[in-house]
A and B are shown apart, each in its own frame.
Chain A
């Protein structure tokens, strides 16, 4: 569908018609709340009937920003330990992209932490992550991810939008556009970020949650732990909620009067947006306030209200999921272990291990695990070669992620890298495949969710993407 057609259709639909609204507007001079009830601008999504039966309703994407080392998290390589300090076989590295190690001698660097088997499935993961280990039978580990990009910024763009060129919509935007939103007072695509203690926090650009060529209403809204949780959310100093309501109502009433004169469908939309904004001013602070969560829940996540931690964000993710938000993306930074990977991973384990377990457990307790698709992934992995003797460089030829919930087969591992953890050699899964599979679980055939842009039927999966059945329940 053409985008300009799309917005006009929406406006015509909302206009439905200007006369109707005019009537309401007149009534609302006395009763402004009538306006409120009449003008919910709820986006229904362009996909009226799912292409395949959906398994998941929503996504929680835990982005481990910086590029987690698969070799100290999910992919155990004893052979690499044996080869520690010896040169990497050239046959493995030839013709592959190298980032900061360009021109350096490539030496093997053994895993810095031990691995253990967990759960009934006996999945082997790093011993620093026992909490994730305790729910390992619910998750599916993919050890054969690949990416085209090897620098942070383009790699984030690639895994979020399926393209390394700026200006394409992020997956959350695609999904909100396709499936609509179920929340009347929150955006359909929400982003939360948190910093790590190790201090290797790479920058993240707002384009990572941009709606690209899709209309702005589908862009991710960054909710923040400090300041206004949403930009410009707080009323000006001295303006109570009641006074703000007076202002908003007056604006809406005057706008409605104008509509009776000029019959402009855009005015109805404007009124609906003011309603939504006013509701967000209450609903977002309510959402962000986790003090009313039970002590046992706070303990489960291991977070304190207002600490801005990844754990707090996981708890917020659950609250957002409960409120009908379609796509919730968390960025947790500080995985960029060019140096000190051994210590660095410990920090990361402290920050995320319990929280990930808690999120899965909490969703299960609330009966939401089955229809929430959880993804844990960085933008790439790290080299089996050492950098500076104690770190690892960026690496895109093979790395690990995990998925859980909505339609994912728990307790299995999928794909493998070679014996040194360099290249995905078995069931390699690229970013487009991941996207195609995720869309499938949400009931969408990735080839059918298209938008015309610059003459092309653009898709999240570009011209690629195959369904990975091996990870589907």
Chain B
């Protein structure tokens, strides 16, 4: 059963892609994917793994005769090509790929090789390593639609009709701000007959401050933003202002090249400011450890690798991590490239082991001013106290002399003293010390004398000291919660970076390397001085760079269409996928750069296209022919991201706190979930104020124990860069939506609003449906819901205790005017609505 389906799906795809059957085969489209996966491991870029000195990824090499005299590839002559012989032979010893590789070619694939050689065996440079070319498109057409239609036409497919306005309103709202549309907005949009109705709707969403939040979610995944250090004790570090920086960057439509510079080199920019420095927190988002017995060299190597992988993932779409131990197996990236890239970050001032520093203050101006006030007052008080101290010198001496000459008797030692033993002892000690020769008195002893004097004899100074301590306490209390951020600072004492043979940090025989751009991408780079992070960032966003724009466009495409134009989002290298519609990806990449790296422009282009507006309905034929919707003959439908599952429920319920930015928050989490954390042991404390209902992206991101409701819906732990979240459908998701207090409380709050609308069950359900699903309920839905409502109203009326228990879930106050039984029954109805597939799905 299963295998036959896989078979038919594979066939479906093969048919779709076999345009080669008519036209000439193309290396990048038809040959490289086969070679990369099957041949390059032994006959590719990695010199150390190369067998028989044969290299197939470079044409000149593949055309050279081997020692035996056999020629691997003879263009135009498959019969004389050793490669073809080896592919088709029945001799197991000669067969390629060999049995132990566990790789095989189908007969069809072998024929493709034969045909390609017959056609002249022409090579192409890897598609993503050459600059994108902007295809010419008719001025009148939407370029995206033009390029999609062009491809659909060649496949004999057609675009789907436009989705209805209600679906579009929901789709756009989810995709652009991550919240459901308000019913009245859907109505207005549906009623708007103007030609630019859609554009206006989009502009409103782009102007919403929630747009930045929505865009931040994916970005925080790739840069691996988290509130904790990651390894072992997984303690907190201050990075929240960076998240605010990301949200603001998208909201203010900061140019993407500028975003890049600030993150990699915000401290080195000529116009460096607090803002650019906070952006540079990017460099500090890696994993670090506080584990006792960790070896600095070990973690220095880990951190270097962490950073290189991140740059590879965020900007290059390259799996550079492979090169930590050896040259890349599939792409021309070398181990030298890896360590030279790492060397860019050798100037970052940081401790390799241990707790991260507190970071710089990132407070609003008024807080900063107030802090300065505190500090000024404190400095003033300190000075005054010091003066007072000096003034007291004379009286202190005089008092000492008086005690010695018996002019003064310490009250504890007076005949009628009622002082206790310890006080008497202390007084005796002071007298004894006073009797000592001045030069023999130790500083500690002097302190004992003075302490007595200031506490018992003349208390002016002591009172001043106490007041100062109190001021200091107040200042610290004010200072402590102010936002701080670990950022990048440069040091001139650079860490030495060596190529580590096989990635082994204990091996110090490798060559020392300086910062350098990857040779395979930066062909004509010649450095007249040592390169810096700023150079790296500038190179990444130069108009000549083949990857940066494509990588960003491809990720954004996934946000709006469910899958990238090149489906392997995190790898545009040889093992990634040549995009079926490369012209489209390349046009968008060029347009992005030409527009001045204008992100909102790019977003606007995508979401106002007819392609975006297509219906996501898929007929069986369509599903069978293009199961993954690679050709865009329809929109995609998918469950929304973890954060939005939460936001959606809170918005529907009316509980959502729309505040933007600030430190992370702690929504309800099952007690004891952190029981396996240590150093120190910790317990999560649920927020007990309006922070309880903040959006999901503000959830405290504990790397080793990510909030379980987030994790259940595939939010990544952000230990490594994640460009392509899983989109799973697992029982834990049902358990969260059914039982997590967040969703039960949201259901109760929603139920409260439903009941307050008044009317009969039909009217109430109609209102609820509009809030949650932006549509009217169908009659069979009403019947199903009413059956549940009636049954549960009946039950809860008989079992009021149970009703009271249910509606007590959560910290938001319960409306006393609503009967518990009614509220409980409607809470269950609301739970049903919040659990619906339609509620958590973007269609």
Contact = CB atoms under 8 A, between A and B. Distances in A.
A239 B717 contact: no
B322 A263 contact: no
A440 to B, nearest CB: 15
Which 3 residue pairs of A and B lie closest in terms of their CB atoms, listed nearest first? A455-B575, A99-B293, A205-B704
Contacts of B639: 266
Question: Which among B230, B295, B722, B736 has the highest number of chain A CB atoms within 10 Å?
Answer: B295
Interface stretch (A77-85, A250-258, A370-378, A428-436): A250-258
A269 B567 contact: no
11 contacts: A5-B6, A12-B5, A100-B292, A203-B234, A217-B730, A226-B675, A227-B670, A258-B837, A274-B835, A277-B732, A280-B731
A95 B506 contact: yes
Nearest to B721: A167
A393 B802 contact: no
Interface residues of B, number: 113
B230 to A, nearest CB: 7
A405 B23 CA distance: 59
A410 B291 CA distance: 37
A361 interface: no
Contacts of B620: 17-18, 263
| Interface size, A (range) | 35 or more
B738 A29 contact: no
Given A205-B704, A227-B672, A262-B843, A166 B719 contact: yes
Given A8-B628, A247-B788, A277-B734, A151 B571 contact: no
B9 A12 contact: yes
B730 A216 contact: yes
B735 interface: yes
Nearest to A253: B784
A321 B408 CA distance: 86
Interface stretch (A109-117, A170-178, A229-237, A411-419): A229-237
B170 to A, nearest CB: 14
B835 A247 contact: yes
A36 to B, nearest CB: 14
A5 B9 contact: yes
A154 interface: yes
Given A95-B506, A154-B231, A333-B676, 14 more contacts: A101-B293, A151-B232, A151-B289, A165-B321, A167-B720, A207-B703, A216-B714, A228-B670, A239-B828, A262-B637, A265-B623, A447-B102, A454-B570, A456-B322
A244 interface: yes
B729 A273 contact: yes
B717 A454 contact: no
Contacts of B233: 203
Interface string A147-182: 000111110000000001111000000000000000
Interface string A193-230: 10000000111111100100001110001001011101
Given A151-B294, A231-B708, A263 B785 contact: no
B618 interface: yes
B805 A237 contact: yes
Contacts of A34: none
Given A99-B293, A227-B671, A266-B639, A240 B728 contact: no
Interface of B: 1-3, 5-6, 9, 36, 102, 230-234, 287, 289, 291-295, 298, 302, 319, 321-322, 329-330, 506, 563, 567-568, 570-571, 573-576, 617-620, 623, 627-628, 637, 639, 670-673, 675-679, 703-706, 708-709, 711-712, 714, 717, 719-720, 722, 726-736, 738-741, 744, 778, 780-781, 784-785, 787-788, 791-792, 795, 801-809, 824, 828, 831-832, 835-838, 841, 843
A257 B679 contact: no
A251 B833 CA distance: 8
A238 B805 contact: yes
A297 interface: no
A233 B617 contact: no
Nearest to A230: B735
B780 A257 contact: yes
A365 interface: no
B234 A236 contact: no
Nearest to B624: A12
Given A207-B719, A273-B729, A455-B319, A153 B291 contact: yes
Contacts of B722: 167
B43 to A, nearest CB: 16
B231 A251 contact: no
A249 B474 CA distance: 57
A304 to B, nearest CB: 20
A244 to B, nearest CB: 7
Contact of B678 (A202, A238, A447): A202
Given A12-B5, A203-B704, A267-B837, A250 B785 contact: yes
Contacts of A248: 734, 738
Nearest to B781: A254
A258 B802 CA distance: 32
B676 A233 contact: no
B313 to A, nearest CB: 9
B836 A394 contact: no
A243 B828 contact: yes
B795 A454 contact: no
A154 B305 CA distance: 15
A231 B704 contact: no
A232 B739 CA distance: 6
A456 to B, nearest CB: 7
Given A201-B678, A247-B828, A258-B837, A235 B784 contact: no
Contacts of A448: 102
Contacts of A281: 735
A264 B637 contact: yes
Given A5-B9, A100-B293, A237-B805, A254 B232 contact: no
A247 B675 CA distance: 32
A238 B230 contact: no
Given A227-B670, A234-B739, A266-B837, A240 B717 contact: no
A102 B740 CA distance: 47
Contact of A255 (B289, B726, B836): B836
A205 B837 contact: no
A443 B807 CA distance: 52
Interface string A91-126: 000010111111000000000000000000000000
B403 to A, nearest CB: 50
Given A29-B784, A48-B3, A215-B726, A233 B735 contact: yes
A277 B735 CA distance: 6
Nearest to A226: B672
A276 interface: yes
A152 to B, nearest CB: 6
Nearest to A17: B620
Question: Which among B573, B739, B778, B802 has the highest number of chain A CB atoms within 10 Å?
Answer: B739
A9 interface: yes
Given A205-B705, A263-B618, A454-B319, A251 B836 contact: yes
Contacts of B781: 254, 257
Contact of A153 (B102, B231, B708): B231
A244 B744 CA distance: 12
B724 to A, nearest CB: 9
B579 to A, nearest CB: 15
B329 A276 contact: no
A253 B232 CA distance: 45
Contacts of A226: 672, 675
A167 B719 contact: yes
Contacts of A466: none
A472 to B, nearest CB: 21
Contacts of A294: none
A101 B778 CA distance: 71
A151 B292 CA distance: 8
Nearest to B825: A243
Given A206-B704, A237-B806, A102 B295 contact: yes
Contacts of A9: 2, 5-6, 9
B713 to A, nearest CB: 9
A215 B418 CA distance: 78
